[in-house]
Structure 1
Amino acid sequence: MFEQALGIFLMLAILSVLIVVHECGHFLVARLFGFQTPVFGVGLPFGPYISLGRKWNTEFRIYAFLLGGFVAIPELGDETNASNSSEAFGVELNPFKKFPIWQRALVAVAGVTFNAIFAYFLMVVMFFSVGRQVEQTYVSALDPSNPIAKQAGVLAGDDIVALDKHPVTSTHEVIAYLGNRKSTPVTLSLIRDGKPLDLVMTTSPKGKVGMVLGQKPAQYIKIDAGPVETLGLAGSELVDRTRLMVVGLAEMVQALTPDFGPAQPGAPPKPGFKNLHGVLAVVKIGAGMVQIDWRSMFMFTIMISMDLAIINLLPWPALDGGHLAFMLVEAIRGKPIEERAHGEMVKWGFLSLIALMVLVMVNDVSALMNGELDIKPEMKEKLKGR
């Protein structure tokens, strides 16, 4: 029980730190350019708060619900605009200045930039301390309904190391690579009984070859390279894993999009909104992973930091990407969107995010009650690194 409570506390602390890192990006770049930052809040800006004092013309606050954060930057043209900032936050503001779009854009993108920098920093620390986390995908079985891999010479138990000389480590990478190469010859690089083996096969029209994939336990391998090369390897690893996250996000959005065409015979059911999860799921799963192997905390934190960056870049009102979209429209039109229309879009964008948070919270509670968020035995084996 103590270990579980400690894991949950660590996950909550990690999420809070990542949010503060994000908001520090906005704050520091805004201060650099001379924007007013009347309030820096840790937590969601609702209900009572504790004031930590004022410095640099900024009041620092801690709110009751810590899983959130914000910096009020009224001159950015965000939801804390000129007409309501003083009333909303109870602080006196100086006369507003007009800042060029490029400066406002840099302030808007600073949060996600800091999340990416922090993720890279953690990747470097992980590489230099515990090593690189390596996962090995293997062929657990062959699908009798699709003989392509079997006819090419693939055997159950073969380790998959590359596709067309591109290294792969996860089942998702293999599936995504083959899925993007329908009816195309692919060279499969394997390790069988400790010896390398290359096999060529042509994928089906659906990008499948009849392999059932499995994942071996994660390993942490010390980097046999100099400091400069290790820094480069850490950057490449972060880029590769971020690319997979973007692909996964795109696939999730596509899966949630209604399909008005006829259903394909034998196609698996598409995931729905009930498959969306939020903070509770992240905390529960992350706490379970840390209990099994504390080293997984590195990659878990790195991925959550990049996830925050990617989500915030979406062009949705009330997100950083929404601010950038408004600035793009302003640059094209030569003038900003009317304040009332801008405020309405931000308001409804914010309310939609709140509604989505409620939806995923309900999903999280339901999954928690049903034990769906418990670490499965096969996942425990995968996490037990060597």
Structure 2
Amino acid sequence: MSQSPGILMMVIAFVLALGPLVFLHELGHYLAGRWFGVKAEVFSVGFGREIGGFTDKRGTRWKFGMLPLGGYVRFAGDMNPGSQPDPNWLALPAAERARTFQAKPLWQRAIIVAAGPIANFLVAIVILGAFAAAYGTITIPPVAGPIKAGTPAATAGLREGDRILSIGGREFDNFNDMAAFTSMRAGMRVEIDYVRDGQQARTETVIGQDVSKDRFGNEVRRGVLGIAAPAEIVRSTVPVWQAPIVGVERTFSLVGMMVDGLGQLIAGRVPVSELGGPMRIAKMSGESLSLGFESFVVFVALISINLGFINLLPVPMLDGGHLLFYAIEGVRRRPVEPQVMEWAFRGGLVAILALMVLVTFNDLGAFGVWRNLAGLIG
């Protein structure tokens, strides 16, 4: 029987997970801007009508919006999300104009924009590094454990004890990375290089698909070869001084998996139904919190990496879109024309809204809404 956290726990966990991460993301922008002398007019956590806030001595309005699904920093001189200058920007006195975002050199503007995603990655590095220092690391070598009969691995002739060198041209040095690679490639034909009794060999097979349910009743689809993990596990302690290095390695390993997952999504090997939005994040937040504090903190690290990664995508309206325009400006030695930016940001807005509709549709499906409606109609 599946276990599901209550609605209240989902809401609390969602706010506890996303609220601080959004704040820290925007704080990254704010601190970088302040470092370069840019005045921040508004620092908002959430969108919509203000439900509370205060104005500090620097003239920045710190506020909470009614819709807690994001946030923003508005710097002096900005007119819209595209950071196009206010028409009155050039008419400002020289001292005030020097404190606007648009007055800063290209490299400073790029750092200010990139500081938000960087803050998210730093959060993950701190969390994952701290866990490594507290609990050490576990490494499972890429060696085949028991092979289940009738699976793709058995069909390919693999045996227990074979050391897997590569799958589909990707080399591995631990079992978990190998499992993550195959989980996103159901139905894909791959070549497998392995070592048996000191001799290197090659075989090929088609990655199968497994459909199962977790303890919360969520349906999980993943590609499988049918190779169980080996009994051999290497446990290592991590000195405090080395913890940040481990945190960086784990964070960038997860970023690499996200890039891989995005590629598989574009290639059509991962269905778009796997994309989730705020409702599914809330559900997963509640589930992770119900498993305990440690599981929840690790989940927060994963969400933080996701926020940083998504915001760096070269889509207008996101930080990555701004950085793309700055890169073009750096090559051309002049800014992109205002009308081009305007149409690009309109297109980006439409794309983001379409994505929100899609993930909401998927989220409702994950909550069983469409299944229940079909039952009522039937």
TM normalised by structure 2 equals 0.74
The Cα shift of 1:243 comes to: 1.6
2: CA distance, partners of 1:215 / 1:295: 24
Alignment of 1:127-138 (within 5 A): 127-132=132-137
Q: Does 2:5 correspond to 1:15?
A: no
Aligned to 1:83: 86
The residue correspondences of 1:1-386 to structure 2 (distance < 5 A) are 5-6=8-9, 8-44=11-47, 46-73=48-75, 75=77, 78-83=81-86, 94-95=96-97, 96=100, 98-132=103-137, 141-143=148-150, 147=154, 149=156, 151-154=157-160, 166-170=173-177, 171-174=179-182, 182-183=190-191, 185-187=193-195, 200-204=200-204, 211-213=225-227, 223-255=236-268, 271-369=270-368
Q: Residue type matched to 1:185 in 2?
A: D
Q: Deviations over 1:278-329 (max 9, x none)?
A: 1111120231133134322232111111111111111110111100111111
C-alpha deviation, 1:351, in angstroms: 3.3
| Conserved 8 A contact 1:153-1:199 | no
RMSD between aligned residues? 3.9
- State percent identity of aligned pairs: 22
- SS of 2:54's partner is strand
Q: Is the Cα contact below 8 Å between 2:151 and 2:225 reproduced in 1?
A: no
Q: Structure 1 41/56 Cα, relative in aligned 2: closer, same or farther at 3 Å?
A: same
Unaligned stretches of 5+ residues in structure 2: 90-94, 209-223, 372-378
In 1, Cα distance between equivalents of 2:51 and 2:25: 20
Question: 1:121, 1:39 → 2: CA distance?
Answer: 28
Q: Distance in 2 between matches of 1:8 and 1:215?
A: 36
Cα distance in 2 between the residues matched to 1:81 and 1:48: 24
Q: Are the aligned partners of 2:139 and 2:174 in contact in 1 as well (CA < 8 Å)?
A: no
Distance 1:29 1:62 in 2: 21
How far apart are the structure 2 equivalents of 1:74 and 1:290? 39
Cα deviations by residue, 1:69-99 (Å, 9 ceiling, x for unpaired)? 101135578535323799xxxxxx9435522
The 8 Å contact of residues 152 and 201 in structure 1, kept in 2 or not, is answered as no
- How many residues end up aligned between the 2 structures? 336
Q: 1:85 to 1:289 in 2, by over 3 A?
A: farther
1:143 counterpart letter in structure 2: G
User: Which deviations, in whole Å up to 9, do the C-alpha atoms of 1:32-73 show, x marking residues without a partner?
Assistant: 1112311111002x2344332234221111100112110113
* Cα deviation digits, residues 105-124 of structure 1 (max 9, x gap): 11111011111111101112
> What runs of 5+ residues in structure 1 fail to find an aligned partner?
87-92, 189-196, 256-269, 373-386
> Residues 207, 342 of structure 1: CA spacing in aligned structure 2 closer, same or farther, 3 A cutoff?
same
